[in-house]
Amino acid sequence: MTTFENDISYYMVKSLVVIAGTLGMMMSCMKIKYPLKRFIVTFAVYLIWGGFFTFFSLKLFGLVVMLQLCIPMISVPAMFILYFMSTFSPWQAIFSYTMQLSISVILAMSQTIAVTIFHGGRAMDLVIRAVSYSLCIFAEFKLLRKKFALLNYLPDKSWRTLTFVPIGFTVLFFLIGTYPVHYTKSVAAIIYIYAITAVMLLIYVIIFHSLISQYNLQLSEYTNNILTAQSESFQKQLEAINSTEEQIKILRHNMRYNIIVVSDMLTLGNNAGALEYLRSIGAKLDNAKKTFYCSNTTANAILSYYIDRAESKGIKTEVQFAMPENLSVDIIDFTAAVANALENAVNACAKVIPENQRRLRVRTTESKQYIVEIANNYTGAVSFDEEGLPVSKESGHGIGTRSISAFARKNNAVLDYDVTDKWFKLRIVLPNDGK
């Protein structure tokens, strides 16, 4: 087989292409949080190390030993570097990088076999490697990147268990490919490698299908929980409205009697008693009041539920909310999206210390478009994924944000996130068909 191990200069070039291709595959499904300049410098230093290692290990120990040392000397450092660059949780990062490494190992072996079959030289070898890695990186970026972003909801301990799958395959490929001889000198080793590759790809497909199904199920359960809370709060609102109307009926019925009592007190010169009696009537009227944020009873129920919840956590609230009658969206979907946004806002705002700095603001505006703005102050840092959606490293988070995004896509709405002066703002922009 054509390995070019006797041409150390070219083998270093080939190794750098493989290392760069593997790094590209690893980065295809992750979000880089490093500034561009820092990323380029880190990437360059790592490639210099890869060339240095290839040259001296090949010179001193030969091809097989060099390949056996690749995991601890090349792959592991790459995983550490990329982990600190990415927004992945620790075990999710290890799963992603070792999965990509196992695929890259098969790709590199296949490249060597292809060059041998076509009796290619250095130029063909370089073209095959560059093109195949480029196509693989492009395909993964298009097909897997968004799926990995969806899977941020999975707790890190779940990734810990799954990580043993790609680690096992990677170690197995290196063992078969280098022990007792290099795979290029053993037809049986090549057969074993591709048989294991078929099993590996099948298992990866099953894992991703299972994780995406679990995500969809969790999203559905989350939405159902929101709708259940919406239904319960709506029922409470109806009960409160009925109770308030009943109290007002009683007060109206007793008003004539109250006027007579106050008049008699004033006639007798009992001004203090009259004032106290009027205060007691005012207190009863205040108790009969119920805050109405919106004429739409469903939206009002959700607002009342979350505003009460916010105020119970010491959050000062400001609400100016109205809904146009001609809003052409399903009211259940709309209020579920608002509920998700309020849920996230209240949870983030409740973490602000000191407590008297907690603020939540809900506003709507109408012109050519109907805009709902939910703003809250927060603590810590906020990062966004490649879709512009806020992300969190906390386990189980992100489902609500995805639900809002799904509502926006369904209704041709625009989501605008803004982080300014420790205020986190979400604007949901909907077309107002009546304007």
The DSSP code sequence of 287-314 is HH------SSHHHHHHHHHHHHHHHHTT
Task: Report if pTM > 0.85.
Answer: no
Would you state the pLDDT for residue 434? 47
- At residue 240, the 3 state secondary structure works out as helix
Spatial CA neighbour of 109 closest among 31, 41, 45, 170: 170
Residues 137 and 21: beta-carbon distance below 8 Å: yes
Tens digit of each residue's pLDDT, the chain (435 residues): 556 667 788 888 888 898 889 888 888 887 777 777 888 888 889 888 988 888 888 888 887 788 778 878 888 888 888 878 777 777 888 888 888 888 998 998 898 888 888 888 888 989 999 999 999 999 988 888 877 777 766 666 778 888 889 989 988 988 888 888 878 788 888 899 999 999 999 999 998 888 888 777 776 776 666 666 556 655 655 565 565 566 666 666 666 666 776 677 778 777 787 778 777 767 665 655 556 788 887 788 788 888 888 999 999 999 999 888 777 888 878 888 888 899 889 999 999 988 889 999 999 998 778 899 999 999 888 877 766 778 765 544 566 787 788 888 888 888 999 888 889 999 999 876 544
Classify the C-alpha dihedral 201-207-213-218 as positive or negative: negative
Would you state the pLDDT for residue 235? 62
Q: Give 296's Cβ-side CA count (13 Å radius).
A: 16
Would you state the pLDDT for residue 201? 92
Count of beta carbons in the 10 Å neighbourhood of residue 435: 11
Q: Are strands 369-377 and 316-320 parallel, antiparallel or unpaired?
A: unpaired
Would you state the pLDDT for residue 398? 64
* Helix, strand, coil share (%) of the chain residues, nearest 5: 70, 10, 20
Structural tokens at position 208: 């991703």
Residues 106 and 25: beta-carbon distance below 8 Å: no
Would you state the pLDDT for residue 375? 94
The DSSP code sequence of 64-116 is HHHHHTHIIIIIHHHHHHHHHHB---HHHHHHHHHHHHHHHHHHHHHHHHHHH
Would you state the pLDDT for residue 435? 45
Q: Are strands 359-366 and 316-320 parallel, antiparallel or unpaired?
A: parallel
